[in-house]
Every structure is written in structure tokens, then in C-alpha cells.
Structure 1
């Protein structure tokens, strides 16, 4: 969901009701393009976040604590000078656009009351945060824009504040049938969805698609192909949305797909996602913060694990290429027994073969039918030399075959290990998890070891994931191989139940024994966790082996996370994050 006019309207409706009349207690600037206003209003404390980040501009209440620089930036100092202790008197959204105006009344240097305006322009890479005086003169802005950066308008201290250039769109809140019909007729060569969001302020493509869905019109249909009845239905659906906006009738919701992945958020009910999982919120700010927290966390973890994924993937590719060569070599020597046979048949018939012959037909006395086979010969060699040539070729092929068995086993084990590490990288939930995987790869020779005392990994260990089953059983999930070994070999007791995906790299899962038989529900939930935290994530019917921990052993010299087990059962479960949402996590 774009941070569109409807989202802003829903946020203003919620925020305005709580802080208008309140006072700005403190002002912070934790990031170059971000401001937090600490506000006291009617006995309550709020933190209002305003950010002009080009990839993530937004505005909402926040509950998160942020670290602030020791020396506040200049813009923060200007904000404190003019707005600290000021009273918030109004919040507006001009023309239903992606602009928020916050009006703050304070006492100026002469002791007179004056009203300053804090403007947040949510315009993608052109987003900005601007402070103006009562005469609309810019006092300062978080991004200074001169004519070198923009030929359209300057945004600089001392300049008059001018709204961003109009986009030749109608104000959504002024919607009526005549202007809608006029816009419809002007956009006959456009699709219905585009006609809506390109003609009206504050409407994103997904909302335009929702309006089409409510009117039973395919959003990709060109307007020229629609009849008057279709046009009327689109208008009625659009008007329904506008009336809800005017009445502050919002329905904040988080939208997840069938496997529980977050798809989007919305301030209004989305009928087009009726088959999706919808999580309803009572607060628009909480919804927005949860959505962006999840998205930003995923982004940060992805950024910090990018080099690990690349390193492990490169080694996996190396193992795969190595295996291809090994298989080809096996194919090349699959006739090795034939080489020995030829040598033996030549030796047995050595007096009937003459030097200079290039082939010889001999009876195979090893077969039941004594069939005749043709053996190639080197005419420059004696029969004995030809026989010796085949024996040497056989012995070489046999040595190669025997060596390949060990090499293939070793390579397969390394491939399985690396795929497990790659799955562990995807399970990281904190920086310590990443450090531990990096250390594991260093200890196993995949990353160059660093000198003692430099870059040493923190002694603090990350903890396995801890869930409570529906029956109240403790379930632990290892997020990396260090944790897998710790869980299985040190923490788990003999009667605890151990789970792992069958022949698929993944986490070790332990269910703690409580002195009685494990309920089937708990066993299923643990199996689902093992399937989710594995390479088979988001796959249906994943086989998961489970057995008592006493049946699980670690071979001498095995890599981290590698174990063998026996006397197991196998469950087949779906792998998706519904189980994560279902269980209580401690």
C-alpha cells in the first residue's frame, strides 16, 4: 500500500483527535531525515514520528525508542527553538494530497503568540520536512532544495513556502457525478484503474483497483470498452469510499497471503483480498508501525546477511559442479569390469592372437552362453602387452572408482551442510545469530580466520526460538548449527522429542518431556515448526522425522548440526508461517 491520501487521512483522523490541544514537550532528530515530537496531551504522552526518507516517508505515532545523536543537527535546534513547549492547534491535509500541515502556537521572542507550520511532504525521493513562520516564510527544512536541484521551486530558509506543483487532479473529497463523468470521458484510452488514480488526488493504484472490484469491473479494462452502467457502478463504489473517508470510517487491516506472508496494509476494507488472511487493527498508527517494522527488519537482516548468502551459495555451486564432474567420471569408468575381462580373455587366448591384429573375436567363458565378443587391439603391441594395457586401465579405473566413493560421500555431506547453513541464514532474527553463523563458517574454513583479539565474536550467545504449544509444552527451535548442537546434545534430555525434516536441511526442534505421552496436537505443531524452519519453507506436505532424543547421536568429526538417528516416525505437514502466528512465542 502506498502512503497515499487515504492512509494519511486515516492517520490524521486518529492523531488529531489525540494531540490537538497538547503541547510539544521534546523534539529529537534520530536520523538525518527524521523527526520525533514528544507530546503531552490531556494527561497522556505520545511520540509522533515524521520522516522524509526518500524510500520510506511516513507519519504516525510510534512506541519504539530510538537513539539520538549527542549533538543535535541544526534542523533539530531550529525546531526546538520555535516549537518546543508550543501548543498543537490543528492538523490538515491540503486538497487530500500527500501533505501534512501541523500548526503549532507558541510565544515568539517578543512575547507575542504566533503560529508556526510544520509541513511534511510525502513525495518519494522529493519528500521533505519544512518549518514556516506565521507569514509562510521558510524558517528551515530538512532538505535544502535550490534551483540546481529543482527548476520547479526552491525550498530554502528565507523563501516563501509554495506547495508542490499541482498534478492536474481533482480533489477526491469533492467527487461528484459530473466531474467523474468528465474525467471518465477524457480517459477513454486508459484502463479503468488508471483513470481513477490518475484523475484524483490521494488515490493509489491498489485503492483504484479496489473501487473497480467493488463495482464488478475488471480494473484492466479500457474505459472505451465500458458502458454507462459500468461507469455508474464505478462512481457509486468510489463515492462509497469517499463517504467513509469524510465520516472517518476506517478499517485498518494487515493483509497476509495464504502462507501468512505480509502482502500489504490498508486503511479501508479491501474486498479484492477477501480470500487472504486479514488481521484487523484498532489503531492506524499501530498498523503502519507494525507493517514497516516487519518490512524494515527483513530489509536490514537481508542486507547484513547478503555476503553470507553469497559466500554459502558460491560454495554450494562449487559442490554441485564437483558432483557433476564426479558423476561424469563415474560414467566414464562404468566399463572398468569389461577392461579386466578383455585382459583376462586375451591372456587365456594369448597363443591364438598375433601381433599386428587390430581386433580379435573371443568366446567369453565367464558367461553361460559363451557368447563371442570383439576386443579392440593395438597392432603395435604384442598380445601380452595388449592384455597388460587393459589390466592397467582396469586398475586405474578401479582406484578412481574407490577414491570417488569417498569423495562423493564427502562432497554430499558438505553440500548437505552448506544447504543447512543457508537455511540457518534465513532463520536469523538478530545480529548475534548472524555473528554465530559467520563464526561457524570461519571455524570450518569458509571464511579467513582473523588475528586473535581482532573482531572477536561476542561471548553472549543467541538463544533458540522458544514456543509454547497449544497443550502448554515448551518447544525449542535452533536457528543455526551452534544452537542445533547445543539443543540436541546439551539441553535436550533422553525422553524429550526431537524433530527434523527428512533428508532436508533445517533446524533441530525439541519438545520438552513432561512425564506423560506427548499430545498429538503438540507433535503436529512441533513438526510444522521443523518444516517451516527448513529449506522446505512454504512447501506443502513436508516429511518430518521425529524420535526421542536418546535415539539421536553425533558421529565423531561430523560438522556442526550433523547427527544420525534411528527408531523414528515420520509426519507429513504443511510448511507456512501460520504456525508462527498460532503459537505463543516466549
Structure 2
């Protein structure tokens, strides 16, 4: 953030009289709505700090002490003044909030200072009440209860910058420029992570033995074990290299690690396990293929997305919750604006969703064609257009591999009647058209 740009922005913001709302919309992003309808994002990323306009999707609600105090002192507060501190890339927003008992004077310092970029809340006596980042070094201490040490003025050397004539356009262009750079980096990181998972699954799939191979191994072990048992009367407990005649009259060598009787019993056990594994190998293979198909669909969805927050919802840094781990092979859960959206990853996953959804939850499905089932846990609330759109996009992206225009039907779960497995009839539905 250039000093001369920040100075122009503070002069522009000085025309506003009130902070209608203020909240964090990202770990390092604060959204401030001025005079009811003019909202700006103050991005405090130390490598690319900026101020811009954006219709960001709020990924989560922040409830840290900083956020609670920010709301208490600045929501619906009267703006006393907004200024850029002299020869410092710091925006100071001074406000007054009249509560039930007294007037609170507060200052929010938004410091666009590179390495130590920060947001600091102080009272009328410059006492630090809270900060986005707490730290202490030889020059400065940002700790609750301390007096804020102001940064000294210094000569700022910058290349000549533009004179902002249209602030709306500037804020929109700034968002477009920064978000495009961030978007490409986020996509690259997420896709690289998914590619690693795909590589591991492909490797597991390639080394997966066939049921015939496992059956043959089980049969061979069983035959050797029976042969040892049949010759126990001729064997000593200390024998390890056995030379026996099989049932076809052929000489066979068997090397064992324990006494013949114990070794034979272990062979029987292993043979039984191999047969069980052979019986389940197709299920294991199907699970691996299902996971691969899901990850490839997820990769395509991330690649097609033009919203960094949407990508974070699709593939968050911390995946799911431990309580949901046992269902991870059946469904995938996504979270947006306090809503939980579940997606069936297979036929069994679709059946699981239908069986466990509540009557007021919302069900999504492609119109007149096979698709994954999507359930939005509603908590008896109506869905916003944003949630409906996101759930519908998920339904399309994880059901079709080709781009095009798709119709998605959605209705409450109580309007969906199960015919057989995941095959259903439904009534009282709405339709949304999605283009991917």
C-alpha cells in the first residue's frame, strides 16, 4: 500500500459519518460498511496489503477477543475523523459509540507497514485494547494494556502514483488485480495438493492384487499346510527346511520359521485371510476408484472457480471433523455461511444422505438425469440465494465431466419419496439453471 494512495483514500473516507458495520471476513481481512451501503475490504496481508471493494463469501464467523471488541466499539459508531498518519502508512479511524451508560471513544489503527502490518484497537488514552497481532520487539510492544507506541515519521520514497479520480473504479480494479494474482496462486497450491492425493490413490490401485491372484495364493498356502499336517508323524519340531512329496507324487521344498505344527496353523490362518481379502478386493477397488473420481471432480471444480473463498470452501486447509471421518468414504461435507452441505460420493453415499436427512433439509439433484445427491442442512431456515447457487454448482460439478448448461431441481427432503435405493420421486420443487 503506497503512502500517497492511502492519503487519498483517507481523504475520500472522511466524507462518511458512520460505521454501520465492521467485521473480519478473512483471517487478515476486515470489512467496513460506511453510512449503510458503502463497504470496503481492508486487506492486511503483509505481502500484498490493499483496500478494495469485493462481494466476498464469508467462510467463517470470527469470535476472537479482537472481533468481539471490534463489534462492541465500532458497530454503529459515529466517525469523528479518518486520517493517514503523517509520513506513515497507517490509517487511523477515530470513532464515538454511545452506549447505554457512557460514550466510548476508540481508534482503529490499520497499519500497512509490511512485515508488521496490523490492526490495533485503542481507547481515548491510546491504551491498546486489542490487536490482530500481538508482538514485542526492541522498538515496540503491541500488548493489551500497554500504551501504543507511535511509529516515528520517516522519509517515504515512492514512485509517482496515480491521482484517483473515480474511487469506485479504483477499489474495483484493485480487487480485480489482487484477486487474480491470489486466485492463481491458491489454485496452484490446492491442485498440487490434490494431485499428490491422486498419485497415491493411483499407486494403491496399480499395486492392488486381483481376486484370482489372492485366491491362488490362499489355495497354495492351504495345500502346503495340509501337506505338513499329513506328514507331521515324520517331522521333528526343530525341522525348518522340509522336503515332502505332494499328492501328485512330486517332491516339494517348504521353508518354515516355526515348528511344523505351528507353521501349518499359521498357513491356514493366512490362507483364510487371503480368501477374505479376495472376497473384498472388488469393494476396495471400487472405493479407490470412487475416491479418484471425487478428487478429479474436485480438481476440475477448483480449476473452474473464479473465487478464492469458494475454493477454500471446496478444499479447506483443515479437512472435516473427526466425528465425520467414518462417513468420509460415503459423503463429503462443505460449509458456507453457517450451512452444512453434504454430497454423496457414490450410490451408497446418496442412499446414506437420503436416509439421514431431516424433513426440513433441502435436497438437490440434476433434472431428469442421474447425478450425485446434495443435502443442505437447513436447521429449519430458508436458504439464501448464495447457498442455493453453491449447492447447485456442487451438484453439477460432481455429476458431470463436461461443460454446458444444466438444470438442478431442489426441494425439502419431506417432498422426496424413495423408490429403490437412491432412486426417488419428488414434488413441490424449484429449478435453477447452472452453466459450467
Instruction: Calculate the TM-score normalised by the size of structure 2.
Output: 0.45
**Greater relative contact order: 1 or 2 (C-alpha under 8 angstroms, separation 6 or more)?**
2
In our comparison, the structure showing a higher alpha carbon Rg is: 1
Say which structure is richer in strand: 2
Instruction: Calculate the TM-score normalised by the size of structure 1.
Output: 0.35
